[in-house]
Amino acid sequence: MRTLHLRKFSDLYAEYGLSAVKNLHLMVQLLLLGRTVNLWKLKDYVGMALGKADVEQESHYRRLTRFFDTWGNCEGFVLDVQKHSFKVLRRLRFSHLLLDGTSWTRGKQKYHYMVLSVLAGSVAIPIYWKQLSKIGSSNQREREELMAEVLKHFNLKGMTLLADREYIGKKWFKLLKENKIDFVIRLRFGDYYEAVDAALGKTYQQMYDKCFLHRKFVRKHILLDGNAYFIAMRPNPKNTPGEEVIIFLTLIRPVRKTVDQYIKRWRIECFFRHVKTNGFNLEQINLRSVAKSNLMMAVVCLAYTITIRAAWKTQKLIRKITFADESVFPAQSVFRRGLALVAIWCASLDSFVNYLHSLFENQNYPFVKNVQ
């Protein structure tokens, strides 16, 4: 293929060379074609993508494994691939952050990706993650380490983090507050009840009873280790047994509209579904090294971001379905629409890279810091 097209990705080309840029975008193309992260399956598409049908498939497989052997342990390359995706997103707006995790086992290998995403419209787009190599919840230290790494490379000041009950902790809340990141985080029943009872006004139980029995929205100003927050309780609109009251901690003076932002958190679950079972079959990953699996996640997220950008301008054309309860949902996700649109350009690496140039901006998204 003509190398001039690849050299247009000047930031990656100048730092890592032609081979790295070519194989990175080849991997993205293969994911979009094969819709799996299994390298042994992806090798079947390499000959078509490169116009080398006469080359043995074993050679194609070695090419893919060599890419991960070469760059899997290069943290700078993985980070630059993450930043590379934001040149696709420059014209999109977002103000919310979503934090959640997904885990599974493959053989004896344990995978647990704790992922921080931004919310663009109704679509969660990952910006950073940490592979914890375990099953179960993350702990406060792991969350603090993730956010410390994120803040080195992204300016998140003024954004609002939405997270579920797993992502709590006094030091964690303090870290977010010190970095001027607002948050609405759900709590379990009884979390920080001592701080509520210690503050002026209703006790924790009185607040809960008012919300549960009278279906009233209640809130209170509290202190945790000397830092001021609001705790809010609102009736669960679904009235789920055992969860009739939903409890939140937030930095924002809470009204119903504030805590109702939390419902947007489930969009990150849609991202997990797309990359795991509805798109790239992430659970088929066959890389044992944490570093290599992080590189694969970066490639997956780049491919995912490209599909979102491809469908962004035409998402209003997606047909809507009205269900019996009068709820309305799109017949197709933005991701699946984008996947179909991009696939048209994947017949060869040359045409795919040409198409990418129509999506990428010369500058990165404003909140990406220019640091190494």
Looking at the fold, whether 197 and 148 belong to one and the same domain comes out as yes
Q: What is the CATH number of the domain that holds 169?
A: 3.30.420
DSSP, res 43: G
Looking at the fold, whether 64 and 213 belong to one and the same domain comes out as no
Looking at the fold, whether 119 and 143 belong to one and the same domain comes out as yes
Residue 317, in any domain of the structure: yes
Contacts of 339 (CB under 8 A, 6+ apart): 32, 35, 279, 307
263-280 pLDDT tens trace:
899 999 999 999 999 999
Measured at the CA of 311, the angle between CA 308 and CA 315, to 5 degrees, comes to: 115
Looking at the fold, whether 134 and 202 belong to one and the same domain comes out as yes
How far apart are alpha carbons 237 and 297 in whole angstroms?
36
Looking at the fold, whether 156 and 172 belong to one and the same domain comes out as yes
Q: Pick the residue with more confidence: 38 or 86?
A: 38
Residue 45, in any domain of the structure: yes
How far apart are alpha carbons 191 and 61 in whole angstroms?
51
Looking at the fold, whether 124 and 233 belong to one and the same domain comes out as yes
Residue 206, in any domain of the structure: yes
Least Cα distance to 97 among 136, 54, 147, 137 occurs for 147
Looking at the fold, whether 194 and 316 belong to one and the same domain comes out as no
Looking at the fold, whether 155 and 252 belong to one and the same domain comes out as yes
23-75 pLDDT tens trace:
999 999 999 999 999 999 999 999 999 998 888 999 999 999 999 999 999 99
Per-residue pLDDT, 59: 94
Q: Pick the residue with more confidence: 56 or 88?
A: 56
Residue 365, in any domain of the structure: no
Residue 306, in any domain of the structure: yes
Residue 307, in any domain of the structure: yes
Question: Is pLDDT of 325 > 90?
Answer: no
Three state DSSP letters for 163-199: ECCCCCCHHHHHHHHHCCCEEEEEECCCCCHHHHHHC
Strand, helix or coil at 79? helix
111-148 pLDDT tens trace:
999 999 999 988 999 999 999 999 989 999 999 999 99
Within 10 angstroms of residue 324's Cβ, the number of other Cβ atoms is 5
Distances (CA, A) of 168 to 139, 173, 231: 9, 7, 13
Q: Which domain holds residue 241?
A: 94-267
Per-residue pLDDT, 364: 54
Looking at the fold, whether 130 and 223 belong to one and the same domain comes out as yes
Domain count, the chain: 2
Q: Residues 69, 3, 85, 120: what is their CA dihedral angle, to the nearest 10 degrees?
A: -150
160-201 pLDDT tens trace:
999 999 999 999 999 999 999 999 999 999 999 999 999 999
Per-residue pLDDT, 370: 46
Looking at the fold, whether 13 and 65 belong to one and the same domain comes out as yes
Looking at the fold, whether 118 and 170 belong to one and the same domain comes out as yes
Question: Is pLDDT of 5 > 80?
Answer: no
Residue 273, in any domain of the structure: no
Question: Is pLDDT of 216 > 80?
Answer: yes
How far apart are alpha carbons 349 and 45 in whole angstroms?
11
Residue 209, in any domain of the structure: yes
Question: Is pLDDT of 362 > 70?
Answer: no
How far apart are alpha carbons 88 and 60 in whole angstroms?
28
- Tokens 């795919």: give the residue: 352
Considering 212, 241, 267, which residue would you say is the last residue of a domain? 267
